[in-house]
Every structure is written in C-alpha cells, then in structure tokens.
Chains A and B, each alone.
Chain A
Amino acid sequence: MEKTKINITDEVAIHISDMNKWFGNFHVLRDINLEVRRGERIVVCGPSGSGKSTLIRCINRLEEHQKGSIIVDGTELTTDLKNIDKIRSEVGMVFQHFNLFPHLTTLENCTLAPMWVRETPEKEATEIAMEMLEKVKIPEQAHKYPGQLSGGQQQRVAIARSLCMKPRIMLFDEVTSALDPEMIKEVLDTMIQLAEEGMTMICVTHEMGFARQVADRVIFMDDGQIVEQNEPEEFFKNPKSDRTKLFLSQILGH
C-alpha cells in the first residue's frame, strides 16, 4: 500500500525539550527531545522497561515530568489543573488493557466524556458515538457491556471512546499486545484507517509491519533515551546504532 505523506503539516503538535523524569532515584527518561508535527504518525519501539510507556504518558500528564518542558497544542504542561484537563480532553489515549468502564454500556462509554467534559447534548453525543462505533465496525454492540465483548472488540470500543472527544492527537500504548493473534488484525486495521485519515498519532508497538505500513517516523528507545529515529524504510534497512541492530534482530527474527 502506498503511504500518504501529504498530511504532515508544519504546525507543531507536540514539542518536548530536554525532558527528564525520575521514579524516586530511578532516572527513567533522560533528556528527551522530540517534535511531532500535525498529521505525523510516529511509532515508538524499544526493549521492555526502556521508558516508552512513561514517555507517552507524560504527554497527557498521567505521569509528571520533573525537568524540561512539554508543550501540547501550544499549551505547556504545568501543575495547572485546568491546562491538564484541557490537554487531556484533546489528546486521546488507548491502553494495553483497554480500561473500558465496565459498569457502562459501550454506547455510554463513548458518550460519557463528550457529555460531561464538552457538555455536548445527549442526542448529539449519541450520534457522534454511533458514528465512531461504525468507524471501528461494531455499531451492533452499542448496548452491550464491555464484559460481554471479545478483547478485540473491547479495544476497538476503547478507540471509539477516545475518538468521540474529537482528539487532535492520539496516543496508543501497546494496544495489541494483550490480544490473541486473530484479533490483532482488526485493531491494527482500525489504526491504519485512522492513520490514513491524517490523525496525529504516537504508537508504542512492536508490530513492525504496522510501522512499515503507516509510520512517518520510527523512534527507538533504550534506557530512557531516544537512541535512534528515522523513516521506517531506512530504520529497518540501515539501523545505525548497534543497540538498534540488536533489538531489530531479536524482534524480527533471524
């Protein structure tokens, strides 16, 4: 499939400079510099414990950074709760373990945040929710509870739930790694579709096929640092650092 790059604009969506984070004494993220432009699709990979999740969780302040700055859509993340809630409402996030709200139906999962955060009237919120559920191809599950759905379906609902807030940026944290092989594809297809529509995305994933197909840039992290980043073609064909080579050889097989 031919990749569309026309989407990328000059507008900066996320600007991270000299960002550092510690868990107690443990230096998880070290001098992270990253600029993401609107429409750009980024895949982050790296060995377990390298700080990938922590990095993207800093972008919507699920984790607090201690040094440097993160600017999302022109708003800097500080301790100001109003800014944080505003940024969170514009940055969607999908988690490895779905984190759907089990006491609400699929539809209610999708309408809740628009109704309470955006104060969208219920009727309109329902319309948007149904539109998004159609997009992820499960409108028929709207009135079921998450516990009654398969893993793949739950993850697609989680994506729809984020999309209902009409986010300008989407963060995906290993969204397929808790799924059975036959369900991975349905979730990846949804993400590919989003990518093709020009959504700004940062995806932590080990699905290298996905990276090849949709990413504009692949970032490799190790020990809390960005070790290497490049266009996917180059990244996979000519990795520069030894660490990257080792990682790729392990993950892609021999």
Chain B
Amino acid sequence: MITKIAFVRKKEIPPSAPPITEVGLIGWLRQNLFSSWLNSTLTVLSVYFIVIMLWDFIPWAYGGHWNTKSLRECLDLDPDVACFSVLTARWKQLLFGLYPAEEYWRPTLTFIFLLLAIVPILFPKFFRFFWFSIIYPGLAVWLLWGGSFWSISIVYIGLTLGALFFLTLIRRYLKNYMIAAILAFLFTAVFFLFISNPLVGLLNVILPISLPFVESLKMGGFTLSLIVGVTGIVASFPIGILLALGRQSNLPVIKMICVGFIEFIRGVPLITLLFVASVLLNYFLPPGTNFDIVLRVVIMVTLFSAAYMAEVIRGGLAGLPLGQHEASASLGLTYWQSQRLIIMPQALKISIPGIVNTFIGLFKDTTLVSIISLRDPVGLASTIRADQKWNGIYWELYVAIGLMFFIFCWGMSQYSQYLERKLKTDK
C-alpha cells in the first residue's frame, strides 16, 4: 500500500497543561528519583543507608554528656552515648590555643573584623568599604601579636608615602614608569631604614597605644588555622597569577624560573617544606635572626599553594581562544591592559572551581602544622587526649574539629557556586 505523502493540518490543537504525573512533587520524584529501575533501586538503597547511619548517630549525639569531669565519669554514666564534656572543658583551647585567657577578646575581634573585611571583596556591591580590607591585615597583626600600634602603622605610612612619591613623580616630573618605580623604591627603603624607627619612638612617647605582646608559639587552635589559611589564600592568589603568566611568557629566563619553581614545589610534599621551615631554615639564616615560626609556615604554605594555583590558572588561560588575545591586541591594548581587562577575568572565571579547590585544600592542609608541633586543632586533639582525664576519647573531638573545618570549606564552596552563577553571561 502506498502511504499518502501530502498532508494538511485540519484542526488546530490548543496548548494544554501537562499531565499531573509530570508536575509538582510527584513529577519531581518521578523524574529525579524513580525514573528507571536502576534509579529507583539506588534511591531505596541510599535511603536505607542514610537511615541506618542516623539510627545510631542521633541517639549517640543527642543523649551526649556535656558536663562530666572526665571520660571515666562519662563511661560510668552511660557508655553508649557521646561524651562532649571534653569540648565543654577544652573549647577555649581548641579555638585559641595557648593564647592568654584575659586576651581572648583579641582573636575574637580579629575574627569578627575578618568577616567584615572579606565582604567588600566577595560582594562588589560593598566595594566602597574596600579600604577596610586594606587596613585589615595590619589591624589583625596588631590585635593578634600586640605590641606598639605605631610599629604596625608605620608600615602603612611608609608604603603610602612611597606610593604618593611614585604618583607625584609620574604626574609632575617623569614619564618613565621604570625609573619612577626605582626612585620610589629607594625612597621607601630610606624611609624604613632611617626614618621609621625614630618616628615610631617619637610617636610612642607622644601617644602610647599598645597591647601586651603575645608570642607566636602561643597561637593555636582555630586561630592558628585561620591565620595560616587566610594569609595563605590571600597571598597565594596573586603569586599564582604571576607564576601562570610567567610560565606563558615569551622571555625564556622568566619562563624558566617560573616553570622551575612550580615543578619543584609541586614535586615536594608540603610536610617536607614545613620541616624545612621549622628546622632547616635556622641553619641557613645567620645565627641570632629571629624569624617568626608562624611567618615561616605561612610562607611555605603560600608558596606551596601558589604553585598549584598557577597551574589551575594556566588551565584557564589555555582554555581561552587565541582570538581573545588577537582582538585585544588589535584594539591597541597593551600586554598588561589586555591581561587585566580581557584575559584574566575570563581565565579566572573558567578556573573558579579549581581555584576554590586549591583554597579549600590549603585550608585543610593547615592541619599539617601539627607535625612540626604547632598547636592547630588537630595538634591540640593529641595534646588533649594525652591528658589522662580524656585519654581514649576520639570521636567527639574529631567530629567537632571536622565540623568546624566543614563549615569554612562548605562556605567557600557555596560562594564559588554563587559566583559562577553570577558570572554566567551566555543565555
């Protein structure tokens, strides 16, 4: 039989609502959890596992003791529930390490200021408060370590004067950026070598503002994790960008230095670098130099994650079509303008997941400092367990520490997803 090919529509079909099984809760369940036999089986199995896990965990955690004096006492009361008393007894230490108790307000304030200082960076809407993010590092150092207010402020004063000197040179007298930069550098160096100390002394006499000094070995707990983690994150990002650009550079020397650095750092475990920081560095430095241990650790962690950051960003750079470089060049933009306005914004956007991954990794890696006997939360956990009152406790401590880390890392991850959604410009 021959089918007829010609066809003309006889009646128009008006649009109608989809069947009830395709919309609403039922529709969602059907589509997402029970779309096929395999999917349904997985759904049932997952629910089963979640239930048996919570079945034990909830009574354990919910019935937990908070106010006993030792693990022994907990076990005597009820051995099947959690003994959170260790947290009640030691939470201050987990948060502040050996920081003097009467000064706890300082790390607390530093943390609150940290939250305020990152807002202008995370949300462009508040960019007008960016000045606070700029002064924050100095403020944090002063609050945490204490000492004279002026010896921190002088750094800002010196740098500001140097920058002003540079700008004046450029605006009024010189066209050459290179020479202006060198002169400004010399100016700043002279300031710090000869002027800053007497000036600080003078200011201390006129208006003495200072906090009791707290040495680095007293820093610990989450305060230490945050000091190392946040500084590492903030510093490794720009270094990573420069390394990535350097690796793509046409200048062989710069390229070689960057490749060598990246490959070396990536090839060495972080623990090794931390050991170098804690022990070996003292051999190389002239005797008597007091190179702060926390600073040494921060430098190592920063270099380590900068190398990873560089590779992540290089991935983003490689993902950009050559046409973007050509288009910006053809408009007359200089190399740095084109990197800053065209290339980096796109490369960084592509690399967001990788960048945040590196940040999260860095933050969790701060726990490795316990190996060189700094007292981060994990290091403290061992100390606490060595106390005979709490000897034998595992879960309660590590669950609490894990939860704290999770909150920070999950926050970073959520922000990165928000950023990706916000920066989506196609469709």
Contact = CB atoms under 8 A, between A and B. Distances in A.
Interface stretch (B8-16, B50-58, B283-291, B324-332): B324-332
A4 B427 CA distance: 42
Contact of B330 (A93, A101, A146): A93
Nearest to B320: A102
B169 interface: no
A93 B326 CA distance: 10
B345 A117 contact: no
Nearest to A116: B337
Contacts of B321: 97, 99
Contacts of B341: 112, 116
A113 B333 contact: yes
A68 to B, nearest CB: 22
Contact of A103 (B333, B334, B349): B349
Contacts of A101: 324, 327-328, 342, 346
B427 A117 contact: no
A86 B331 CA distance: 10
B387 interface: no
A85 B334 contact: yes
B332 A62 contact: no
Contacts of B331: 88-89, 112-113, 117, 161-162, 165
A103 B324 CA distance: 11
Contacts of A90: 332
B323 interface: yes
B333 A95 contact: no
A62 B330 CA distance: 7
Contact of A95 (B327, B425, B427): B327
B423 interface: yes
B245 to A, nearest CB: 17
B102 interface: no
Interface residues of A, number: 31
A49 interface: no
B328 to A, nearest CB: 8
Interface string B384-427: 00000000000000000000000000000000000000010111
B323 to A, nearest CB: 4
A117 B342 CA distance: 14
A165 B324 contact: no
A150 interface: no
Contact of B326 (A99, A116, A148): A99
Interface in A135-151: 145-148
A103 B334 CA distance: 19
B425 A102 contact: yes
Interface in A146-182: 146-148, 158, 161-162, 165
Given A95-B323, A116-B337, A116-B341, A103 B425 contact: yes
| Best-buried of A103, A117, A145, A147 by chain B (most CB within 10 Å) | A103
A148 B345 CA distance: 19
Given A86-B332, A89-B332, A116-B337, A95 B326 contact: yes
Contact of A113 (B332, B349, B427): B332
Interface string A83-117: 00110111111010111111100000000110011
Interface in B288-339: 321, 323-324, 326-334, 337
A200 interface: no
Given A81-B334, A101-B328, A116-B333, 20 more contacts: A62-B326, A62-B330, A89-B331, A92-B330, A95-B323, A95-B326, A95-B327, A97-B323, A99-B321, A99-B323, A100-B327, A102-B346, A103-B345, A112-B331, A116-B341, A117-B333, A117-B337, A147-B425, A161-B331, A162-B330
Interface of A: 60, 62, 81, 85-86, 88-93, 95, 97-103, 112-113, 116-117, 145-148, 158, 161-162, 165
